Chains A and B, each alone.
Chain A
C-alpha cells in the first residue's frame, strides 16, 4: 500500500491546439488537445496538465471550451495553468471541469491571489507553477515570469516556501535551464525544493530519455512531467512507468 509516483503528460496549448517549443521558441503543432488527452488517458497517464501558453491573449473562451470537452470525456485529474490572473479565472477553470489550477506569473506580482484562491477553493486545487533558472540569488535559483523570458527578481526557493505558506497545495517545478534540452531533470533544483517544502512536487523540464525519470523521483519528486517526448512518440507513458518500476518506484 504505497502511493504511486504519477506520470504526467503536459500539453502546451495555443488557441486550442497543442504545441511544444524548445525552450519555448520554435513552436511545433502536435494536434488536438482533447484527442491527445484521451489517448494519454488510455495509455495510463495518471494526470494531465494543460498549459495555456497564449493565455495573455483575449481568447480565453477557447481554453474554457477545451477544458470542458476534456473533462467531459477524461476521468483522471486535470490541471490547467497559464494566464490565471484572478480568483475569477480560477473559478471559471474549476467550473469548466479543471481539478487543479496552476498559478505562475500573476502569483509573483500579486501573491495574495494564491492566498485568496486557496482559501476559496482549497489548497488541494491550487498548484504553484514556477519557472526556475539558475541565477545569482541566495539559493542559486530564481523565479522567472512570462514563460521564462523575464526575471522576477525573486529567489525561487524563497518564493516556493512563501507560496506554499499562502496555500499552494502542490508545486510544479519547471526548470527553464533544462526545458527542451532533453538532458534530464534539474536534480539539484528538485532536491532543493524537496528540502524546502512538504507539499507534492512535480518535476518538469528536461526529460529526454527513460533514464532521466528515476533520478527525479529519488531527488524527491512525487510526480514526473514531460511533454515533447510523449507527443512525438519518443517515449510512451508505459515505458516510463516500466523504467520507474525497475528502479523500485511504485507506479499505477
Chain B
C-alpha cells in the first residue's frame, strides 16, 4: 500500500484526515517536512478558514514548491476544501484580491446564497468517467464553505488532457471536485462524509497506488 503524507501546515483537521485515509490501508503520516512531503506516494493537503491565511501558511513551509515539484513529476496531490481553493489563481476576500498558488486559472468567490456558510450534505454531479466518484456518484458529501469557484476558465489546448470537473449547486453552480492528472481536489470534506467519503478516499489511494 502507498504511503501518504497529510500536509500539516497549520490548517485543517489533520487528525481526521489521517484516520480516514488509514481506513484505506495506506500508511499515513502527518508532517510538514519538505523531503517527506516531496517523497510520499501521495500528498494530502487539507485546509480550512480564510484563503489568504491558508495560502500564506502553505507558502511559509514551501508547500507551493513541494506541490509544484510533485506535479511536474506526475506525483499525486489531493487538496481539500480551502486546500483545493488555494490551487486557483486568486480569491477576493473583503474586497481585496489574494493570490493562490495558481495551478489552475480562475477566481474563488463568495457564493450567492441566502444562508452561508454552505454547511451540510449535498449532491455532486460527477464528471463522466470520473475515477474519484467511482461507486459513489449518487451519494451526498459534506460541505462547509462560503467561497467557491463558480466559473471554470481553464482554456484547454490540444496539448493537454482536459481535467474532469464535477459540479455541485448551492444558490448557484460551483466546482465540487477536479481530477487533473496527478492533481485532485474536492471542495467538500471526504474525511467527514461517512462511508461515501471513505470510498472516495479509497478511490484516490487506489489511483496513488497505480502511480508508484
Please say whether chains A and B are actual partners in one complex. Answer: yes
Binding site for B on A (CB under 8 A): 1-6, 41, 46, 68, 71-73, 75-77, 94-97, 99, 121-125, 169-170, 198-200, 222-223, 252
Shortest distance in angstroms between B161's beta carbon and chain A's nearest beta carbon? 27
B194 x A6 contact (CB < 8 A) = no
Query: Which residue in A6, A68, A71 is a CB contact (below 8 Å) of B121?
Result: A6
Query: Which residue in B19, B122, B170, B194 is a CB contact (below 8 Å) of A76?
Result: B194
Interface flags, B41-64, vs A, CB<8A=1, else 0: 000000011100000000000000
A3 x B48 contact (CB < 8 A) = no
Q: Which residues of A contact B125 (CB under 8 A)?
A: 1
Given contacts A75-B193, A95-B15, A121-B49, contact A1 B117 (CB under 8 A): no
Number of B residues contacting the other chain (C-beta, 8 Å)?
Answer: 37
Given contacts A41-B194, A198-B114, contact A99 B140 (CB under 8 A): no
List B92-131 residues whose CB lies under 8 Å from chain A.
114-123, 125
B123 x A199 contact (CB < 8 A) = no
Complex Cα–Cα for A46 and B139 (A): 13
Shortest distance in angstroms between B195's beta carbon and chain A's nearest beta carbon? 8
Tell me if B211 counts as interface (CB < 8 A to partner A).
no
A-B contact pairs, 16 of them (CB 8 A): A1-B122, A2-B122, A68-B15, A71-B13, A75-B20, A75-B194, A75-B197, A76-B192, A77-B144, A97-B16, A121-B48, A123-B146, A124-B119, A125-B49, A169-B119, A198-B116
Binding site for A on B (CB under 8 A): 13, 15-16, 19-20, 23, 48-50, 114-123, 125, 140, 142-146, 168-170, 189, 191-195, 197-198
A170 x B119 contact (CB < 8 A) = yes
Shortest distance in angstroms between A76's beta carbon and chain B's nearest beta carbon? 5
B144 x A124 contact (CB < 8 A) = yes
Q: Is the interface of A mostly helix, strand, loop or mixed?
A: loop
Complex Cα–Cα for A3 and B197 (A): 17
B123 x A125 contact (CB < 8 A) = no
Given contacts A124-B49, A125-B48, contact A169 B117 (CB under 8 A): yes
Q: Which residues of B contact A71 (CB under 8 A)?
A: 13, 15-16, 19
Shortest distance in angstroms between A194's beta carbon and chain B's nearest beta carbon? 9
B118 x A3 contact (CB < 8 A) = yes
A94 x B194 contact (CB < 8 A) = no
Closest-by-CB residue of B relative to A6 is B120
B115 x A122 contact (CB < 8 A) = no
Complex Cα–Cα for A41 and B169 (A): 25
Chain A to chain B: the 7 pairs with minimum beta-carbon distance, closest first: A122-B49, A1-B169, A4-B121, A252-B121, A200-B119, A124-B144, A97-B15
Closest-by-CB residue of B relative to A200 is B119
Closest-by-CB residue of B relative to A73 is B19
Query: Which residue in B16, B115, B140, B168 is a CB contact (below 8 Å) of A252?
Result: B140
